[in-house]
Amino acid sequence: MKKSINVFLILFCFIAFSPSSIAQQKFGLGLKIGQNFSKVDNVAVDHNAASYHAGITTYIGINKYFSIAADAILSQTKLESSPSAVELLANPSFKPETYHLDYLSIPLLAQFHPVKSFTIQAGPQYSILLDQKKDGVENARVAFTSGEFSFVGGAKLDLGGFFLYGRYVVGLQNIKDIKQLTTSLQDPSTWRSQQWQLGVGLNLFNF
């Protein structure tokens, strides 16, 4: 998988900076903010818990129909667990728990523009885990890897100085850090993240 991502990056760098495309390039910069709906497979939490993301986005135009976009996004994955009826009967003091995973996400996306105001996006993303907390205060009792490769697919609608967008982000690797778990908690399951992102952005400038 990492080999495929490296090939992808090399290919798009070659296209973007080849002599035939430099004359057609256009650069743009914008701000974006939105909401995440996240889940992690095989983790005993409610699915599609809402959280947030915010950051900057840039793009380089290759020609009328294609461009490359690179973002730097502060993004939170929120996982909420709720006690079952059995757990409440066994321990009435059992309380729901919320885990917050804070990432710096850097997607590099190919963009296709079938019409002027509509864009289809796809490409790899790498996210660096900045912090993990339980209930927003304590260190998380579950352990996650320090980074994650993902694949991103989505679309964007330009509305003059503003734009709306939606993306689906699927993890490509197991983000469970087994070495950090105690022996009693270890299991062979794989934790892979999935996330929907919806948001709005502001085009600061382009030239």
Domains recognised in the chain with CATH numbers: 2-16+25-206 (2.40.160.20)
In this prediction, residue 64 carries a pLDDT of: 87
pTM of the predicted protein model: 0.74
- CA nearest to 148, candidates 133, 132, 164, 135: 132
- H runs (alpha helix) in 25-141: 85-90
In this prediction, residue 143 carries a pLDDT of: 66
Say if residues 125 and 149 touch (Cβ distance below 8 Å): yes
- Can you tell me the distance from the alpha carbon of 206 to that of 203, in angstroms, rounded to the nearest whole number? 8
Per the listing, tokens 């809402």 go with 50
In this prediction, residue 20 carries a pLDDT of: 45
Per the listing, tokens 């909401």 go with 35
**What is the residue-wise DSSP string for 75-86?**
EEEEEEE---HH
Say if residues 128 and 149 touch (Cβ distance below 8 Å): no
Q: What is the pLDDT along the chain (207 residues), one digit of tens a residue?
A: 555 455 455 554 554 444 444 445 589 999 999 999 988 775 655 566 788 999 999 999 998 899 999 999 999 888 776 655 444 455 555 566 777 889 999 999 999 999 989 999 999 999 998 987 776 455 545 567 788 899 999 999 999 889 999 999 998 877 767 554 444 455 566 777 888 999 999 999 877
